[in-house]
Amino acid sequence: MPFSVVKPGMLTLVQDLGRWGYQSKGLTVSGPMDRFSLRMGNVMLGNDENDAALEVSFFGPEVIFHDERCVALTGAGLEMNIDGVPASPWTAHSVRPGSRLAVTGLPRDPGRGCRAYLCVSGGIDVPVVMGSRSTFTRGKIGGYEGRALAAGDLVDMRDPKPLWRRSAGFVCPPELRPSRTWDEPLHTLEGPQIGAFTAEGTETFWNETFTVTNESDRMGYRLDGPQIEHETGADIVSDGIVPGAVQVPGGGKPIVLMSDCQTTGGYTKIAVVSTWSAASLAQKMPGEKVRFNRVSEREAAGYLIKFEEDLRQLTERRATFRSR
């Protein structure tokens, strides 16, 4: 049975962990901006980690369920209610036929993020396009008709796994949730064209503070701040791009490429933001500050290793929840 979209919110997209294996054909990976929160939400409900969920940006949606399910909201500290009663994030809640769920908006406290993930037991059921249910809106590919949800949409859900009702009431322990200090610098590795910048330019990048601009989106976060000076010019022969790459065009202002980024580009790349820190950046809103900190590959990998251990513990706790 589907659920009905009453209000779509600002930008609500169906996302799984992304469309891998097609970058050589020019197709972006897409997927969630904060993949760690999506994976944890699915584990809380006993889903597969790659099951599709709704990525909620800033506020919304409001939906009516026509089937019994469990739901969990992870990621940013957005507020949610079910039938008008506040429902805590990072907690598995039961919904029944006729239940109205609303993600009501941004938290009042700064630094709590702007993207959340509404996971449902069984996952969202939309057509698989090139191995993924993720939405790529610029190409009108995947998700719900290749676009953000709109009022009146009927969104199908897949059949949940056996014993899915055991998830109701399960709370992700705070110590296992993705832990991010809001003013912590982004963990960043040197980029392939770092030699294209002057010594002063690289010092500016590593030591100065930048501001997220209104032009930031799922393709890239454009930052404002002091100009990063090139040594040999901003243009190169186009080469491969990965999410997290930091391009610096001729104007000297960095762009951090995100989930919907292009697969090749012709601007110099001074650095690459780690996968962990790219998810932290995705939670920042226009006007918030960003700093970069140079780390080694080993240091960057350490955060991923810790997350995998936390996810393993979460999986074990959920498996034994109410089993005694």
Q: Give the tens place of pLDDT for each residue, 189-226.
A: 999 999 999 999 999 999 999 999 999 999 999 999 99
Least confident residue range of 93-97, 121-125, 182-186, 278-282: 182-186
Instruction: Evaluate if residue 115 carries a pLDDT over 90.
Output: yes
Q: How many angstroms separate the first and last alpha carbons of the chain?
A: 31
Tell how far CA 275 is from the center of its chain.
Answer: 11
- C-alpha to C-alpha distance for 296 and 214, rounded to whole angstroms: 31
pLDDT band at 231 (very low <50, low <70, confident <90, very high): very high
Per-residue confidence (pLDDT) for residue 109, from 0 to 100 = 61
Instruction: Evaluate if residue 102 carries a pLDDT over 70.
Output: yes
Over residues 137-149, the mean pLDDT reads 97
Do 253 and 224 contact (CB within 8 A), yes or no?
A: yes
Burial (Cβ within 10 Å: 0-12, 13-18, ≥19) of residue 77: middle
244: which residues sit within 8 A by CB, 6+ positions away?
A: 256, 257, 272, 273, 274, 275, 277, 278
Instruction: Count other Cβ atoms within 10 Å, centred on residue 72.
Output: 29
Instruction: Evaluate if residue 322 carries a pLDDT over 80.
Output: no
C-alpha R_g of the chain: 20
- C-alpha to C-alpha distance for 74 and 77, rounded to whole angstroms: 8
pLDDT band at 108 (very low <50, low <70, confident <90, very high): low
Burial (Cβ within 10 Å: 0-12, 13-18, ≥19) of residue 92: buried
Judge if the upstream peptide bond of residue 61 is cis by omega within 30 degrees of 0. yes
43: which residues sit within 8 A by CB, 6+ positions away?
A: 49, 311, 314, 315, 318
- C-alpha to C-alpha distance for 198 and 159, rounded to whole angstroms: 56
Over residues 19-40, the mean pLDDT reads 96
φ, ψ of residue 103 to 5 degrees: the values are -95, 110
**Tell me: the pLDDT tens digits for 285-296?**
999 999 999 999
202: which residues sit within 8 A by CB, 6+ positions away?
A: 194, 228, 270
Least confident residue range of 21-35, 37-51, 173-187, 294-308: 173-187
Tell how far CA 152 is from the center of its chain.
Answer: 25
Per-residue confidence (pLDDT) for residue 181, from 0 to 100 = 75
pLDDT band at 324 (very low <50, low <70, confident <90, very high): very low
- C-alpha to C-alpha distance for 191 and 294, rounded to whole angstroms: 11
Q: Give the chain's domains with CATH numbers.
A: 3-178 (no CATH), 186-298 (2.40.100.10)
Do 160 and 124 contact (CB within 8 A), yes or no?
A: no
Burial (Cβ within 10 Å: 0-12, 13-18, ≥19) of residue 237: exposed
- The CA dihedral of 135, 141, 143, 148, to the nearest 10 degrees, is 70
Burial (Cβ within 10 Å: 0-12, 13-18, ≥19) of residue 134: buried
Instruction: Evaluate if residue 302 carries a pLDDT over 60.
Output: yes
Least confident residue range of 181-190, 211-220, 238-247, 255-264: 181-190
Whole-model pTM: value is: 0.95
What token pair was written down for 160? 């949940």
Instruction: Evaluate if residue 111 carries a pLDDT over 70.
Output: no
Per-residue confidence (pLDDT) for residue 31, from 0 to 100 = 97
pLDDT band at 110 (very low <50, low <70, confident <90, very high): low
> Going along 280-320, which residue ranges are E strands?
289-290, 292-294
Nearest alpha-carbon partner for 33 in 139, 140, 134: 134
Per-residue confidence (pLDDT) for residue 107, from 0 to 100 = 54
The chain-wide mean pLDDT, for the chain, equals 95
What share of the chain in percent tops pLDDT 90? 92
Structure-token match 């290749």, residue found: 146
Structure-token match 């739901």, residue found: 71
Instruction: Count other Cβ atoms within 10 Å, centred on residue 74.
Output: 26
